[in-house]
Amino acid sequence: MSRIAAVLQELGQEAVTTRRLLERVPEDKFDWRPHPKARTLGQLALHVAAVPGIVAGFAFQPSPVQIPRFDGDPSPASVADLLAAHDQSLDAAAAKVGTLTDDALDAPWRLLAGDRELMAQPFGGVLRSIMLNHWYHHRGQLSAYLRELDVPIPSIYGPSADHNPFA
């Protein structure tokens, strides 16, 4: 299996798990937040839904890339909107990743803030750290938010207190 095929396979597998979590986000709690400095549930859920596509959108620009401008965190209007954003994000990310060759993963990539270099690594590392690991990090936050709201948590990498796929 090529390295690109492996990234696409992981993206697809993790998308299924992410969707199971997003489907459980209660619309009537979109404005809830665990702390005044934290994103609301709706903002975090939409961020989780959108990360792969957002990252693909800026990471695939010619390097060096200027850090994108983030204009606040929108909130979805409904769970249906959240799931649609998730599907669009995955389609965009898979389409971009699918254009790559394995050699492209080794190409140098740089992220700048003005003249200051924030990150320099092979492009494959960008996909791993910003697109995938960043996505999983926020998905973990979302599962903690849902636990605080007493929403049953699906199995993610193994059984949860609410769902055991191995039983």
Map 15-31 to HEC letters. HHHHHHHHCCCCHHHCC
Query: Is pLDDT of 104 > 90?
Result: yes
Q: What is the mean pLDDT of residues 115-127?
A: 94
Phi/psi at 57 (nearest 5 deg)?
-60, -40
Question: What is residue 111's predicted lDDT score, i.e. its pLDDT?
Answer: 93
pLDDT tier, 71 (very low <50, low <70, confident <90, very high otherwise): confident
Q: What predicted TM-score, i.e. pTM, was given to this entire model?
A: 0.94
Spatial separation of the C-alpha atoms in residues 41 and 39, rounded to whole Å:
6
Q: What average pLDDT does the chain have?
A: 94
Cα 128 to Cα 3, 84, 134, distances in angstroms: 12, 24, 8
Cis peptide bond upstream of 76, omega within 30: no
Question: What is residue 12's predicted lDDT score, i.e. its pLDDT?
Answer: 97
pLDDT tier, 90 (very low <50, low <70, confident <90, very high otherwise): very high
Q: Which domains does the chain have, with CATH numbers?
A: 3-148 (1.20.120.450)
Question: What is residue 68's predicted lDDT score, i.e. its pLDDT?
Answer: 83
Question: What is residue 146's predicted lDDT score, i.e. its pLDDT?
Answer: 98
Phi/psi at 64 (nearest 5 deg)?
-80, 150
Q: What is the mean pLDDT of residues 100-121?
A: 94
H helix intervals, the chain: 3-22, 41-59, 79-97, 123-126, 134-148
